[in-house]
Structure 1
Amino acid sequence: MSISWEESYVGQLRALAGDRVLLFVGARGVVRDEAGRLLLIQRSDNGHWALPAGAMELGESISDCVIREVREETGLHAEAVTPVAMYTGPERTHTNMYGHTYQLFSVAFRVDRWSGTLATVTDETTDARFCAPDEFPAPLSPSVIETLADLAAFEKSGNVVLK
């Protein structure tokens, strides 16, 4: 069960902070099927195709965050995850479609094992599907390409990518 924006930690913080730039701590998950295709979700807020992702809530770890976000946005149960990249720094400051500005600190995880049945529509998504790289739908979030490159670097070196 997902919580509303108003009930979320970031939503409550935004209500208190007004227009100030906030730190946003979040996670994204790279889920692949047996054929190596990547799971993409179409976000209900902006229509972009992206990896399952979202903000960490109070009382959870960053790995709990990615597990919850994968479940909320796809219906799948991530059973084992590995951190592959961390994204930080002032260049990660963005203003979203609602006019809220955040400096992002996010961790990309490879979902090593998952179970369940894919839900193509959820409270946060309008579609979801496994896609081969030459089949990625548009508009595609730029974070997908960056995360896949960082995943490849991690799988080659075994070192978490720090940006």
Structure 2
Amino acid sequence: MARLDYLDDPNAPEPNSIAIAVSAFVQDSAGRILMIRRSDNDRYSIPGGQLELGETLTQTVARELREETGIEVEVTGLIGIYSNPRHVIAYDDGEVRQEFSICFRARPLGGRLRTSSESKEVLWAEPERLDALNIHPSIRLRITHALADRPQPYYT
């Protein structure tokens, strides 16, 4: 399924749904950031996905990272809650979702990098090389907040 993100766009379609999503900022011992290149929009992102019934948010983080990247993680903190109503995501099936994502900090426990149906590339990216990647501003904001190591979680 293809997706198109709209941020502060007066021509964006009206949202017709909202879903609980998580993402995770993960760094290895060298300070590199775990990134994926999404299959649905070809942009680079920190990994994440939608909460499923019967899961806790941290279980969702662990499952999504394992599925999308092959890396096992442990959640270690909260970076922020992102619910900007001016960020909507349009899918090719007609769903237009208002952003609602909870971003966690996690540490890698093991596993091997691998792609999935949702990630056409998985990599450890040096923070100074992020500007060379096509990253949506909403994801860039989460990365910026994570790298700043803010004392309190961000929320909107």
Counting helix residues as a fraction of each chain, which structure ranks higher? 1
How far did residue 63 of structure 1 move? 1.4
* Residue from 5, 24, 30 that aligns with 2:25: 30
Q: What's the secondary structure of 1:148's corresponding residue?
A: helix
Q: Give percent identity, aligned residues only.
A: 29
Report the more deviating stretch, 32-41 or 73-82. Answer: 73-82
Q: 1:125 is matched with which residue: 111, 119, 124?
A: 119
Deviations 1:75-94 (A, max 9, x none): 11112332210012422333
Q: Secondary structure at 1:65's aligned position in 2?
A: helix
Deviation track 1:91-146 (CA, whole Å, cap 9, x = no partner) reads 23332354420112210011134211111x21211111111123234322223310
Aligned residues: 143
Distance verdict in 2 for CA 1:138–1:89, change over 3 Å: closer
Q: 1:16 maps to what in 2?
A: none
Find 1:49's aligned residue among 28, 31, 44.
44
Where do 5+ consecutive residues of structure 2 fail to align?
2-13
Q: Is the 8 A contact 2:36 2:45 kept in 1?
A: yes
The residue aligned with 2:82 is 87
Matched residue type, 1:85: G
Q: Which amino acid aligns with 1:60?
A: E
The separation in 2 between residues aligned to 1:34 and 1:58, in whole angstroms, is 33
Secondary structure of the residue that 1:144 maps to in structure 2? Answer: helix
Distance 2:25 2:117 in 1: 20
Structure 2 Cα separation of the partners of residues 26 and 81 of structure 1: 17
* 1:35-86 Cα distance to aligned partner (Å, 9 max, x none): 1011110111221111101111111111111111111100111123322100
Which residue number in structure 2 is paired with residue 73 of structure 1? 68
Contact 2:58 2:75 in 1 (8 A): no
Amino acid at match of 1:71: R
What 5-or-longer segments of structure 1 have no aligned partner? 6-18
Code of the aligned partner of 1:162 = Y
CA spacing shift, 1:148–1:20, aligned 2, 3 Å: closer
Q: Give the root-mean-square deviation of aligned CA atoms.
A: 2.1
Question: Which residue of structure 2 lines up, in the alignment, with residue 8 of structure 1?
Answer: none
- Partner AA of 1:138 in structure 2: L
TM-score (norm 1): 0.77
The structure with more strand, counted as a fraction of residues: 2
The aligned residue for residue 154 of structure 2 is 161
Normalised to the residue count of structure 2, the TM-score between the two structures is: 0.81
SS at 1:90's partner residue?
coil
